[in-house]
Chains A and B, each alone.
Chain A
Amino acid sequence: MKIHQIKLKNFHCFEDREFSFGSRFNLIIGDNATGKTTLLDALSVGLGSLFLGFPEPASPRNITSDEVRLATYHHGDSWTVEPQYPTQVDCSGEVDGRQGTWHRALTSKDGRTTRQDADWIRAEASRLSEAVKQGQPAILPVISYYGTGRLWVQLRQTKTKASKVDTLKPDTRFVGYLDCLNPASDVKRLLEWFKTQEISALQQGTLNSTLEAARQAILSCIPGGSHVGFDVSRDELMIRFAERSLPFSFLSDGYRNMVAMVADIAVRCATLNPYLKAKSSQETPGVVLIDEIDLHLHPRWQRRVVDDLLRTFPKIQFFGTTHSPFVIQSLPPIEGVQLLNLDDEHAEEFANKSVEDISEEIQGIELPQRSKRFKDMMKAAEEYFAILGKAEQATPAERDAMKARLDALSMPYSDDPAYQAFLKMQRTSAGLDGEVQ
């Protein structure tokens, strides 16, 4: 499944706005209150329409009355707010490789979200659902929404986790949609899934390819992790790093959040398409919405999160919001990856820009002063270029010294990791490391 376009009318803060999306990663940026989360909510209405044709626990997402745009009117001393029905969400997209459009609307306060203009997607869903009923290998798309509340729920659950982790009974493939559009994620079920798979692998004495797929997915997104698995004797999900193993509940906010989110996507893929076995993460298509993708992540990790997700789930279309220039800068300049700036409708170029330029030019934050290191670099560059023009005024040794100084100072301002590595290597072999700081 993919969403190509969405048109919103009277949806929360959007009076009438249309968005086109890339097929791989859509990074949504904008000031607070410009509608980043609202856009994700609208997308979840679009995605949730698929569930009009799926059995429980998949449940359709309707437009709620608090999503109706309110117009404010001023009457001298007083103000009134008037809800602007109808609220409309129009989508065009793809289900199971076929293209179509569908529309949902809420026309009055006591009305229900219309479904008559969502026939196309409902029919596609019914077709898939019938195939699943017959036990056929139809591909079910993964759909999931991670809101900013995702961490809090996990905290509360891990604190009250005095009782042991249960195991899961065999269930329908559609259980992979359980609560999937609820922006708060459920870590309990995740732990249960791991425990069940781990025990079944132990009993059968063979590798469980579904479990291995989930492990691989998690490890490919967790820097430094070497193993992840449910320790049945400790009754905990354990993550092994180079020097020690840590229970899931002991991880820092950033790690726990990322492990849980990637695990949740991977486990949903495996639950929806169990016949894909070891390839469930790679082969399952779908749409994943992530509010504040940089939540609790160290800047170094922010720089790789988009790449990690794209690589681990190559058929999923992602929508993420962020305020982080590091995430914006990290967007790979490839087909299907797009930056959506809600402050400014025209698309911006993001590749080859420094974090400073992104803050200043795309996010519109004036930098009152650049860092001391930046100023030093500019000074070194001026000196270097001044002597380059006139070779007779500097000896080769002086020139090389100036070049070395500029190289060292400009290293952090290069966006080119390969070049940085080259410079480092050269400096190390010349015994210059750490000289200019």
Chain B
Amino acid sequence: MRPVNRGEWPKDVDGHNIPFADYSDARDDLIRRIGDYCSYCEVCLHGSIAVEHVRPKKPQPALEREWTNFLLACDNCNSTKSNKDVDLAHYFWPDRDNTVRVFDYDLDQPPRIKTGLDPVLRPIAERTIALTGLDRVPGHPSYSIRDRRYLKRKEVWGVALIARGNLKQNDTPQMRDSILHTAVSRGFWSVWLQVFHDDEEMRSSLIKWFPGTATDCFDGNTRPIPRLGGLV
């Protein structure tokens, strides 16, 4: 899960918050700020993505058009998360926490809780995975055949590993650029970060190239650091 910063409420020329007549009007601003990726599973949806209410609008109608309550989500994450109200303190959130410090990504696999995570925080991480069904792959009891997240993630693993091989053969600025273009157009930032875990330059570029990645989650050497205001 990529930690993101959606930035301040979009302003008009006089510096006032632009009100959203409908929550879906925030979509373009959100895509500009944090890219057209699902905030939870990180799939890239090239524009066909929906505005997600962190706290669902049904139980929290006051937050329906509230900028700070918006993220972007894919169909699968959105429908698994459903309309159930959530207590923000019981979950990790990509716009509040340094989620890089919570989850690990291994070849083709769904996000896994880091072995070193403080045991006190483990239940929070488990709830976060369950909230949007990030661990659902064929064989999982709640897996539905309409859920293609695992397939998309697997595709990106394949492409990212090939990119890594290409870079080894031919390490040029042009190759790095073209890999970054590929990464941005395919999403799954966490997978790319893992594949290039030992390449600080690449990690630093990935943090910069994906729009809205929360830069305050990393030190100067791209090592994750605690996020101000977050649980981790």
Binding site for B on A (CB under 8 A): 333-335, 349-352, 354, 357, 361, 370, 378, 381-382, 384-386, 388-389, 403, 407, 410, 413-414, 416, 418-419, 422-423, 426
In contact, A422 and B158 (Cβ under 8 angstroms): yes
Report whether A423 and B158 are in contact in the complex, using a CB–CB cutoff of 8 Å.
Answer: yes
For this complex, 8 residue pairs linking A to B, each with C-beta atoms less than 8 Å apart, are A335-B47, A351-B48, A354-B148, A385-B109, A388-B107, A416-B155, A419-B158, A426-B158
Q: How far is the CA of A423 from the CA of B161 in the complex (A)?
A: 12
B residues near A416, Cβ cutoff 8 Å: 155
* Cβ–Cβ < 8 Å partners of B45 in chain A: 333, 351-352
Contact present for A333 and B46 (CB under 8 Å): yes
Q: Is B138 a contact of A388 with CB atoms below 8 Å?
A: no
A351 CB to closest chain B CB (Å) equals: 5
Instruction: Give CA–CA (A298, B75) in the complex, Å.
Output: 31
Contacts of A384 in B (CB 8 A): 108
Q: Which residue of chain B is the closest to A389 with respect to CB atoms?
A: B109
Q: List B residues 113-140 near A (Cβ within 8 Å).
A: 137-140
User: B167 to nearest A CB, angstroms?
Assistant: 15
What are the residues of chain B within 8 A of A378 when measuring CB–CB?
138, 145
**Given known A381-B138, A382-B138, contact A352–B148 (CB-CB < 8 A):** yes
Neighbouring B residues of A361 by C-beta, 8 Å:
146
Q: In chain B, residues 158-201, which have Cβ atoms closer than 8 Å to a Cβ of chain A? A: 158-159, 162
User: A351 near B155 (CB under 8 angstroms)?
Assistant: no
- The reply on B150 being an interface residue by CB < 8 A is yes
Q: Which of B47, B139, B152 contacts A382 (CB 8 A)?
A: B139
CA distance A412 to B139 in the complex (A): 21
Whether B138 pairs with A349 at a CB distance below 8 angstroms is no
Q: How far is the CB of A9 from chain B (nearest CB, A)?
A: 26
Name B49's closest neighbour in chain A (CB-CB): A349
Chain B residues with a Cβ closer than 8 Å to the other chain, count: 25
Q: Tell me how far the C-beta of A405 lies from the nearest C-beta in chain B, rounded to whole angstroms.
A: 13
Contacts A351-B47, A352-B152, A410-B151 known; 8 new A-B pairs at CB < 8 A: A349-B75, A354-B148, A378-B138, A382-B138, A385-B109, A419-B159, A422-B158, A426-B162
User: Are A388 and B108 in contact, with the CB atoms below 8 A?
Assistant: yes
Q: A407–B154 Cα gap in the complex (Å)?
A: 9
Interfacial chain A residues near B109, Cβ < 8 Å? 385, 388-389
Query: Interface readout for B44-74 with A: 1 if CB under 8 Å, 0 if not?
Result: 0111100000000000000000000000000
Q: What is the 8 Å Cβ interface bit string for chain B, positions 72-110, against chain A (1 contact, 0 not)?
A: 000100000000000000000000000000000011110
Nearest Cβ in chain A — how far from B137, in angstroms?
4
Which residues of A are found within 8 Å of B158, using beta-carbon distances?
407, 419, 422-423, 426
Task: Determine the residue in chain A with the shortest Cβ distance to B75.
Answer: A349
CB distance from A330 to the nearest CB of B (A): 14
Is the pair B146, A419 in contact by a Cβ cutoff of 8 Å? no
Residue of A nearest to B145 (CB): A378
- Select one of A350, A381, A382 contacting B48, CB under 8 A: A350
User: In the complex, are the beta carbons of A385 and B139 less than 8 A apart?
Assistant: yes
Q: Which residue on chain B has the smallest CB distance to residue A331? A: B48
- Known contacts A381-B139, A384-B108; is-contact A333 B151 (Cβ 8 Å): no
Shortest Cβ distance from B106 into A: residue = A388
In the complex, which residues of chain A have a beta carbon less than 8 angstroms from the beta carbon of B139? 381-382, 385-386
For the complex, give the distance between the alpha carbons of A279 and B95 in Å: 49
The reply to whether B138 and A414 form a contact with Cβ atoms under 8 Å apart is no
A26 CA to B107 CA in the complex, in Å? Answer: 40
Which chain B residues lie closer than 8 Å to A335 at the CB level? 47
Q: Which residue of B lies closest to A348 (CB)?
A: B48
Flag if A349 contacts B48 (CB, 8 Å).
yes
CA distance A88 to B159 in the complex (A): 54
For B137, the chain A residues whose CB sits under 8 A away are: 381, 385
A386 vs B139: C-alpha distance when bound (angstroms): 7
CA A389 – CA B109 in complex, angstroms?
8
Name A381's closest neighbour in chain B (CB-CB): B138
A413:B151 contact, CB within 8 angstroms: yes
Residues of A within 8 A of B43 (CB): 352
Chain B's closest residue to A351 (CB) is: B48
Q: B106, B146, B150: which contacts A381 (Cβ < 8 A)?
A: B150
The 6 A-B residue pairs with the shortest CB-CB distance in the complex, in nearest-first order = A381-B138, A382-B139, A385-B137, A419-B155, A382-B138, A349-B48
The residue in chain A whose Cβ has the minimal distance to the Cβ of B45 is A352
Chain B minimum-CB-distance residue to A378: B138
Are A414 and B151 in contact, CB atoms less than 8 angstroms apart?
A: yes
The CA-CA distance from A410 to B109 in the complex, in Å, is 16
B129 to nearest A CB, angstroms?
14
Separation of A388 and B139 alpha carbons in the complex (Å): 12
Q: Which residues of B contact A370 (CB under 8 A)?
A: 145
